[in-house]
């Protein structure tokens, strides 16, 4: 008997094989997580990266961790230095790391130690088109994603871009752990609510924790 697995199992909703929605899992810490962002973006600012095919990304991002996801006209990759500053990305704050490990554990992944955390920022007009996350070396490790601020409509597709996507609402404090068969599925974001969030203002933030190398 593992009491901590049953005490709030109500909030663990399977979304797809290998994907678990932990509704409100980060609610208590949401404000503290958001409070880290100004300190982090003072080291590595939010920027709009470009892609080889699609031009400037509407979502603004930076990374923390030993390595970070970057995109430019040469393609996508992970690298230890922020190309904007030429310096290492800021370290993953302890409260980020601890939350990610607890969420992964709840979803059945013991000892999740991410080496990268991509911080995405959206306003009400920002979309993220359907894509797969394939640039991480370790596809057995899950990805943990934390939604903060304004609610959004998440697009969940299948193994092929042609598969019909379904929408899920994600709210401040929701955490999703994507592993196993869901790790390589197409996904995107097709709308953020208009308005203001009491802690995040006119933004939605998303933290995605990855084991990239
Ligand atoms: C499913 N971010 O950063 S989070 C991304 O809301 C990304 O910022 C979106 O897609 C966002 O790559 C969606 C949920 C998410 C993140 C990574 C996944 C879902 C995923 C990787 C594999 C499958
Ligand atoms: Fe993604």
pLDDT band per the 50, 70, 90 thresholds, residue 54: confident
- Residue 194 inside a domain? The answer is yes
Tell me, what's the pLDDT at 6? 47
- Residue 1 inside a domain? The answer is no
With 0.85 as the threshold, say if the pTM is over it: yes
Ligand 2 centre from 7 Cα, in Å?
A: 30
Q: Quick one: which of 176, 168, 175 has its CA closest to 26?
A: 175
Residues enclosing ligand 1, CB less than 6 A? 118, 120, 128, 133, 143, 145, 176, 178, 182-183, 185, 187, 189, 206, 208
Q: Which residue owns the Cα nearest ligand 1 atom 22?
A: 183
CATH code of the domain covering residue 46: 2.60.120.590
**Residues making up the chain, counted from first to last:** 213
How big, in percent rounded to 5, are the helix, strand and coil portions of the chain? 20, 35, 45
- Residue 140 inside a domain? The answer is yes
**Which residues form the domain of 170?**
6-210
Of the CA atoms within 13 Å of residue 101, those in its CB half-sphere come to 13
- Residue 177 inside a domain? The answer is yes
How does pLDDT run across 105-148, given as a tens digit for each residue? 999 999 999 999 999 999 999 999 999 999 999 899 999 999 99
């Amino acid at each position: 008997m593992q009491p901590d697995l049953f005490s709030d199992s109500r909030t663990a909703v399977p979304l797809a094989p290998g994907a678990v929605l932990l509704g409100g899992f980060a609610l208590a810490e949401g404000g503290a997580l958001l409070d880290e962002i100004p300190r982090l973006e003072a080291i590595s600012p939010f920027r709009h990266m470009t892609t080889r095919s699609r031009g400037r990304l509407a979502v603004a991002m930076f990374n923390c961790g030993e390595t970070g996801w970057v995109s430019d006209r040469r393609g996508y990759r992970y690298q230890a230095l922020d190309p904007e500053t030429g310096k290492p990305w800021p370290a993953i704050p302890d409260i980020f790391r601890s939350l990610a490990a607890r969420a992964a554990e709840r979803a059945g992944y013991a000892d999740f130690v991410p080496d990268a955390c991509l911080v995405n920022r959206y306003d009400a007009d920002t979309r993220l088109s359907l894509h797969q996350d394939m640039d991480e070396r370790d596809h057995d490790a899950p990805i943990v994603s934390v939604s903060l601020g304004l609610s959004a409509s998440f697009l969940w597709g299948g193994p092929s871009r042609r598969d019909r996507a379904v929408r899920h609402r994600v709210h401040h404090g929701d955490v999703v752990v994507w592993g196993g068969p869901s790790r390589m599925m197409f996904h995107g974001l097709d709308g953020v609510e208009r308005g203001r969030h009491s802690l995040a203002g006119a933004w939605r933030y998303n933290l995605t924790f990855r084991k990239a190398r």
